[in-house]
Structure 1
Amino acid sequence: MDNESPFFRYFPHGLAAAFTLLWGILAINPVMRDVWWAENLPIIIIFLLLVVTFKIFRFSNLAYGLMACWLILHTIGGHYTFANVPFDFITDFFGFERNHFDRLGHYSIGFYAFPIAEFLTRKRLAKPVVIYLFSLFAIMALAAGYEVIEWWYAVMAGGDAGIEFLGSQGDIWDAQTDMLADTLGAVTTLILFRFSGIRADD
């Protein structure tokens, strides 16, 4: 599926090493350690899952690159808390009233629709229409579920930790906008998947 040159063959390994280094650096002195743990738990789970299953099912390099986007953005958000990531150059340029780094993070969650579609396609588990719809709806369900988890943690933690983890920044439509960002990310990468040339395994 991927080019057999050393660069392409070991691309996931290099990506994993680079991410591990970044994660280790950003694990040092985060803004709020309790929020850092809450934000990094899903990162650790997803990363380890990809490592453990690598020899069982290797995704395309494009899929690994797309999945790395969320891992990286969420790691940065966990270090600073999403509302406080240094993103002023974007905020000031567009005249936003809030820090939209969290929207970018949610948009990248939608990128996981690509590996879902790839897995289903290569394993011949469904017809194309079902694959696209399932991949999209899986991300939408994940987005809704994560908003519930955010609400639960904010209530349980309370105080500054709850506020920072929730990251609404006073936006009453924060949860709905986050879910929209997840969905748009999924739509974008499913269009990309359509033209990626990935086919069922022989």
Structure 2
Amino acid sequence: MQKHAIPLILSTIFVAMSLWAGISPNDRAVWYAETTPLFIVFLALVFTYKKFKFSNTAYILMSVWLLLHTIGAKYTFAAVPFEWGNEFLTPIFGEERNHFDRLAHFSIGFYAFAMSEWLLRKHKCTFGTALWFGLFFMMSVAGAYEIIEWLYAVIKGGNAGIEFLGSQGDIWDAQKDMLCDTLGAIFSLILYIFIRPDKQIR
């Protein structure tokens, strides 16, 4: 039971936060759109747990996006109470807006860690190839997700479409989001090089 403690605790936190986020969200249509990918990823991790258990570090990193995105689904990303973070990030990005979505996009990149771990523990490729694949995989996911956001905004229209897109008037929002995804992936892969769960778990 002890070796399953971290995934169990993280799962419990996510379920509890999902229930909280589902109670009177700021925009129900946005909540449905934002939580759908969360539940898909979470259930995929649950149902594949017996066949392949990632390292605790990987689960912690993957949970960051699940939790941050759940908060974004509750408030919509433009309306998340994030004043302290905005004070820190506004000088970096040079724009007055809610930067919570940038933080969430950065955390998406953490899944590069899990991808590289899976490849190496399954002996699918060499160490260097696993790192490059993890990076390019997340860059592809980032690009695909921006296209999905755009399509949803066009099809849905109205306030729900605008809030799901989350551009907040920035014409370069998609490019900046993809940059954050990529930087998050690079950060997690550097972390992977030092931790090397594929050598610790047999």
Superposed pair shares fold, TM > 0.5: yes
Shift of 1:14: 1.3
Shift of 1:94: 5.3
Is the counterpart of residue 22 in structure 1 residue 17 in structure 2?
Answer: yes
Match of 1:72 in 2: 67
* Partner secondary structure for residue 10 of structure 1: helix
Task: Name the counterpart of 1:168.
Answer: 167
Q: Which of the pair is proportionally richer in helix?
A: 2
Provide closer, same or farther for how the CA distance between residues 94 and 198 of structure 1 changes in structure 2, counting only shifts above 3 A. Answer: closer
Q: Please tell me the root mean square deviation across aligned C-alpha atoms, in Å.
A: 1.4
2:56 maps to a residue whose letter is N
Cα shift readout 1:83-137 (whole Å, capped 9, x = no counterpart):
1100122224555500000000000000000000000011110011111110000
Whether 1:155 and 2:154 are equivalent positions in the alignment is yes
The aligned counterpart of 2:110 is 111
1:45 to 2:40 alignment: yes
The percent identity for this pair of structures is 53
Letter in 2 for 1:76: I
Q: How far apart in 1 are the matches of 2:80 and 2:107?
A: 16
Deviations 1:25-49 (A, max 9, x none): 1110000000100000000100000
Q: Answer whether contact 2:30 2:73 (CA < 8 A) is retained.
A: yes
- The list of structure 1 runs, each at least 4 consecutive aligned residues, that deviate by more than 4 angstroms after superposition, is 93-96
User: TM-score scaled to structure 1, two decimals?
Assistant: 0.94
Unaligned segments of structure 1, at least 5 residues: none
Q: Quote the Cα distance in structure 1 between the aligned partners of 2:127 and 2:43.
A: 29
- Residue 141 of structure 1 pairs with residue 136 of structure 2: no
Task: For structure 2, list consecutive stretches of 5 or more residues without a partner in the other structure.
Answer: none
Match of 1:127 in 2: 126
Number of corresponding residues = 197
1:42-100, Cα deviation, whole Å (9 max, x unpaired): 00100000000000100000000000000000000001000110012222455550000
Match runs of 1:175-194 below 5 Å: 175-194=174-193
Structure 1 equivalent of residue 26 of structure 2: 31
Deviation, structure 1 residue 20:
0.5
